[in-house]
A and B are shown apart, each in its own frame.
Chain A
Amino acid sequence: MTDCKFEQETENIVRVSGSRFVPDAYTVKLEGARCIGYRTVSIAGARDPIMIEKIDEVLEGVRARVADNFRDADLHYYLHFNIYGRNGVMAELEPTPTTEGAHELGIVIEAVADTQKQADTICAFARSTMLHYGYEGRRATAGNLAFPYSPSDFHAGEVYVFSIYHVIAVDDPVAPFAVDCVDL
Chain B
Amino acid sequence: MKQKLTDLAEIIRSKNSGPYELTLDIMFKDFASFEKACEKKIINEDVVCRLYHIPPEKIINIIEFQPAKAIKITIQRPICSGDLGETDVYGAQQHAPLLDLEFDW
Contacts and interface: CB of A to CB of B under 8 A. Distances in A.
B91 to A, nearest CB: 8
Contacts of B87: 45, 146, 148
Contacts of A48: 93, 95-96
Given A148-B86, A149-B86, A152-B89, A143 B15 contact: yes
A81 interface: no
Contacts of B96: 47-49, 103
Contacts of A45: 87-88, 93
Interface residues of B, number: 22
Interface in B36-81: 81
Interface residues of A, number: 20
Contact of B93 (A139, A143, A149): A143
Nearest to A139: B12
Contact of B92 (A144, A148, A150): A144
Contacts of B82: 149-150
B88 A140 contact: no
Given A47-B96, A48-B95, A140 B89 contact: no
Interface of B: 6, 9-15, 25, 81-82, 86-90, 92-96, 99
Interface of A: 45-49, 103, 131, 139-150, 152
Given A143-B90, A146-B89, 19 more contacts: A45-B88, A48-B95, A48-B96, A103-B96, A139-B13, A140-B13, A140-B93, A141-B11, A142-B13, A142-B14, A142-B92, A143-B15, A146-B90, A146-B92, A147-B88, A149-B82, A149-B89, A150-B89, A152-B89
